[in-house]
């Protein structure tokens, strides 16, 4: 069979004429993928997430060469890595710091999407796949945190797995199935190791690929929320688009340079980050007979943990009032009769389960709200009814609403790290209300106010 006629010469030409798919993919996703030229600071975090993923995969592989997933030796095998393995401390600190930086980067990446309406049509699938990545990332970090087999690893996993216990009917069996035993033990550690090193990373990589494919099919959004494909030049490429490679590869390299300085400053000078990235309690081997005084999950889970703790029996009537108000609001603002009936039915069922004689335990509601707080991201594209994408052309007070949401999220995160007290519980309840209110009321508030005219082309000042 004849060779493929290559457009390249030399070694690359030899290669390309035998396996053209590589260069076809390179052109489609790099050198001939046109990205808007007006990306700003917030657009660094997508490529940074990829960088952190690579750091985690590589450092994780080297850790797995020395780590022993065995309840009797896991803790000390980590300490063995820290002391006896050449450069082991470096690999381990990269991995532990990388976990926290993954979440920092991903939270900022999600915030970017919310700021510029990146999830809006036609990019809903990009957002949905991204939300799946976020869930997979949380699973990955949950499984991984058990592996050092310290006190916090053990008791953190204990708290989370016990949450499944509260699910009616299947709960106890489900939690036993997750543990592989009636208590957290060797079987749990082994399966968490398998999940952390094989199952979830594979899923994560697949989802990352899907995220990028979905993005490249519809094209990137930009800070102005303008569709660059609406204005094509004579060559058929967007007038405001520039090839991703080399322009954004060099641009992202610059971002990566700054990122690496921050990352390695932590790795080398503050790997414990004052007990936030590596907790003191986790330098004590797991002891099933000694519960630590204060159990807190790692910082990136604390906002959701706060929502769980905020859902006390006393909070249920307030949730019921919220559900009732929301039901009434929806009932009187939708036109379709079928939808109205459905809304009324759902509201009635929720009220019965919240405050009726058949009401469910507050703990279960806490678990449900915690689950909802992470999965609500999935429906964001359909909640936002704003006629424009970018915050730049929305009413100024929309920024305040987003800001309030960010503050509530941050406060929930801080409170989740602290032991609860009555005052803090009230604050976390208020913030839980703000958190859900932001999303659930979005169909109404997102189209209120005076929107600015969106320009035809992106705004860009040459560097």
Partner 1 sequence: MKSPACTACPAIPGHVRGHAKEPPQSCTPAPALRMRLVAICLALLAGVALAPMAGAQEASLDHWPTERTSDPAALQRGARLFVNYCLNCHGASQMRWNRLRDIGLDETQIKSQLIFSGQKVGEMMTVAMNPRDAKVWFGKAPPDLSVIIRARNTEEHHGTDYVYTLLRSFYRDRSTLTGWNNAVYPNIAMPNILWQRQGPRVATITHVEWEERPAADGKSGPERVLTKSVNVFDADGYLTTTKTVVADGSPETSVAFAPSDPKAAAAVDDEVADLVAFLNWMSEPGAATRYRIGIWVMGFLVIFLLCVRWLNKVYWRDIK
Going by C-alpha positions, the residue among 278, 327, 309, 339 that lies closest to residue 427 is 309
Asked if 448 contacts 395 with a C-beta cutoff of 8 angstroms, the reply is yes
SS3 98: helix
| Binding region for partner 1 (CB under 8 A) out of 128-136, 244-252, 332-340, 384-392 | 244-252
Q: Which is nearer to partner 1, 269 or 332 (CB)?
A: 269
Instruction: Give the SS3 label for residue 165.
Output: helix
Task: Give the three-class secondary structure for 102.
Answer: helix
Tell me, what DSSP letter sits at residue 168? T
Nearest to 398 by CA among 459, 439, 448: 448
Residues 260-279 that bind partner 1 (CB under 8 A): 260-261, 264-265, 267-269, 271-272, 274-276
List the structure tokens of 316: 């249920």
The set of long-range contacts for 67-70, using a CB threshold of 8 Å and a minimum separation of 24, is 67/147, 67/193, 69/147, 69/189, 69/190, 69/192, 69/193, 70/186, 70/189, 70/190
Report, in Å, the least distance between residue 215 CB and partner 1.
Answer: 21
455 binds partner 1 (CB under 8 A): no
Under rule CB under 8 A, residue 399 binds partner 1? yes
Cα–Cα distance between 147 and 199 in angstroms, integer?
A: 15
Minimum distance from residue 428 beta carbon to partner 1 (Å): 9
Q: If binding is defined by CB under 8 A, does position 382 make contact with partner 1?
A: no
Per CB under 8 A, 283 contacts partner 1: yes
Whether 96 and 271 have beta carbons less than 8 Å apart is answered as yes
E-strand spans in 314-402?
Answer: none
> Least separation, in Å, of the C-beta of 452 and partner 1?
16
Residue pointed to by tokens 């996703």: 29
Distance of CA 42 to the CA centre of its chain: 16
* Closer residue to partner 1 in complex, CB, 264/378: 264
Q: Is 32 in the site for partner 1 (CB under 8 A)?
A: no
Q: How far is the CB of 321 from partner 1 (least distance, A)?
A: 21
Residues in contact with partner 1, shown as a per-residue x/- string from 402 to 421 under the rule CB under 8 A: -xx--x---x--xx--xx-x
Among 172, 209, 233, 280, binds partner 1 (CB under 8 A): 280
Q: Is the CB of 82 or the CB of 352 nearer to partner 1?
A: 82
Applying CB under 8 A, which residues contact partner 1? Answer: 37, 76, 79-80, 82-84, 89-90, 93, 242, 246-247, 250-251, 253-254, 256-258, 260-261, 264-265, 267-269, 271-272, 274-276, 280-281, 283-284, 396-397, 399-400, 403-404, 407, 411, 414-415, 418-419, 421, 423-424, 427, 430-431, 460, 462-463
């Amino acid at each position: 069979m004849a060779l493929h006629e290559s457009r390249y010469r030399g070694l690359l030409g030899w290669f390309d004429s035998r396996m053209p798919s590589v260069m076809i993919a390179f052109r489609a996703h790099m050198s001939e993928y046109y990205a808007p030229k007006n990306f700003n600071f917030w657009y660094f975090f997508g490529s940074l997430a990829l960088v952190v993923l690579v750091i985690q995969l590589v450092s994780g592989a080297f850790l797995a060469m020395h780590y022993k997933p065995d309840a009797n030796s896991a803790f000390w095998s980590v300490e063995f890595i820290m002391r006896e393995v050449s450069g082991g401390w470096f690999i381990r600190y990269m991995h532990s710091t990388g976990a926290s930086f993954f979440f920092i980067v991903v939270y900022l990446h999600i915030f970017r999407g919310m700021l510029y309406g990146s999830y809006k049509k036609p990019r809903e699938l990009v957002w949905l796949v991204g939300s799946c990545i976020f869930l997979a990332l949380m699973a990955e970090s949950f499984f991984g945190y058990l592996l050092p087999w310290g006190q916090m690893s053990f008791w953190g996993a204990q708290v989370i797995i016990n949450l499944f216990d509260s699910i009616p009917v299947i709960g106890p069996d489900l939690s036993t199935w997750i543990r592989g035993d009636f208590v957290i033990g060797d079987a749990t550690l082994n399966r968490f190791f398998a999940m952390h090193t094989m199952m979830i990373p594979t899923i994560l990589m697949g989802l990352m690929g899907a995220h990028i494919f979905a993005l490249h099919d519809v094209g990137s959004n930009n800070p102005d929320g303008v569709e660059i494909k609406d204005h094509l030049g004579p060559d058929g490429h967007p007038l405001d688009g520039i090839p991703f490679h080399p322009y954004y590869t060099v641009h992202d390299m610059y971002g990566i340079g700054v990122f690496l300085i921050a990352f390695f400053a932590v790795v080398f000078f503050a790997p414990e980050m004052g007990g936030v990235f590596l907790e003191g309690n986790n330098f004590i081997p797991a002891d099933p007979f000694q519960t630590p005084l204060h159990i807190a999950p790692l910082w990136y889970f604390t906002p959701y943990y706060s929502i769980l703790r905020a859902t006390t029996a006393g909070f249920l009537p307030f949730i019921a009032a919220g559900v009732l108000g929301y039901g009434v609001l929806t009932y009187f603002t939708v036109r379709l009769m079928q939808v109205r009936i459905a809304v009324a039915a759902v509201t009635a069922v929720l009220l019965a389960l919240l405050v009726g004689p058949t009401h469910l335990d507050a703990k279960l509601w806490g678990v449900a709200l915690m689950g909802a707080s992470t999965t609500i991201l999935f429906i964001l594209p359909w909640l936002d009814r704003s006629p424009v994408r970018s915050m730049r052309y929305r009413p100024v007070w929309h920024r305040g609403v987003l800001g309030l949401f960010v503050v509530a999220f941050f406060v929930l995160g801080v409170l989740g790290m602290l032991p609860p007290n009555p005052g803090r519980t009230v604050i976390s309840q208020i913030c839980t209300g703000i958190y859900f209110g932001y999303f659930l009321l979005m169909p109404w508030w997102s189209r209120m106010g005076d929107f600015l005219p969106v320009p035809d082309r992106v705004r860009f000042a040459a560097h």
